[in-house]
Amino acid sequence: MRGALVVFAKEPRPGTVKTRLCPPFEPEEAAELYACMLDDVLEQSARLAERARLAPFLYVAPAESVRVLAARAPAGFETRPQHGADLGARMESAVRELAADGFAPIVLRGSDSPALDAATLDDALAALAEGADVVASPDPDGGYGLVALREGWAGLFEHRMSTSSVLEATFERAGERSLRCARVRSGFDIDTAADLGRLREARARHGDLPCPRTLAFLDDRGLWPPR
C-alpha cells in the first residue's frame, strides 16, 4: 500500500490570499508572495514525496482553478479540486477520497509553510511507524502546518479551523476514536507580519531554508517587517 502527500492550495488571486498581510502589503504583493510560497512548497513536496515513496497530490480551491494550478505543479502531481464549505470539510473530503483509493498513510500539508523542512516529514513518518495514528507539526497559533494519518479515518477535522485550538480539537477527535497522537517539531505558517519575522529569524539560525523564491521575493521588494 502506498501513502500520499497532499498539498492544499489556492489560486494566487489578489484579494483572496494572504489577506492578513494587507496592509502593509498591497493585495497584488500578497498574491505574488503566495505564488512564490506555493511554488517553493510544490517543488519541495515533489522531492519529499519521491524520497519517501509517497504519491504527490495537489488539492485546489476554487475547483475551477484545477487546470491553472495543475500547469504550475511539478511533474508527478495529481491535481484534484477541494470539496466542502470550509477547510475542515475540504480536508475530510480529501482524506475520504484518498482512503477510498487505497492510500495510507496520508500526509496533509498547507501551502502557507514554505520553511517546513524534510526532517519534519521524516519525523512524522517515523512517529507513524512507531505506533502513532495521528501526528502533527504544531504552529505558534494553535494550528498545524502538517498532519499525518496512519489511515484515512473520518471525522478528525469536523470542527472549526483557523482558531487557536485547532490542534487540540483534532487530537480530541482522535482521542474519541482511541487513536494515538504525537507531535513533531514545530513550524509556522506565513499569515502575518509577525510570521515574516519568524521566517527571517529561521534564516538567520539555519541559513539554508527550502523556500528560495519566497526569500528572494521579500529581499528584492524590501517587504520584510521592521525589526
Cβ atoms of 110 and 145 within 8 Å: the answer is yes
Mean per-residue pLDDT, 43-66? 96
Residue 213 has pLDDT above 90, yes or no: yes
User: Structure pTM?
Assistant: 0.95
Mean per-residue pLDDT, 27-47? 98
CATH code for the structural domain at 3-221: 3.90.550.10
Which residues have C-beta within 8 Å of that of residue 212, sequence separation ≥ 6?
40
Q: Residue 179's pLDDT is what?
A: 98
- CA nearest to 209, candidates 200, 222, 220: 200
- Tally the C-alpha atoms within 13 A of residue 68's C-alpha that lie toward its C-beta: 13
Q: What is the mean pLDDT of the chain?
A: 95
CA distance linking residue 128 with residue 123, whole number of Å: 9
- Tally the C-alpha atoms within 13 A of residue 4's C-alpha that lie toward its C-beta: 25
pLDDT single digits (tens) 71-105: 999 999 999 999 999 999 999 999 999 999 999 99
CA distance linking residue 138 with residue 92, whole number of Å: 19
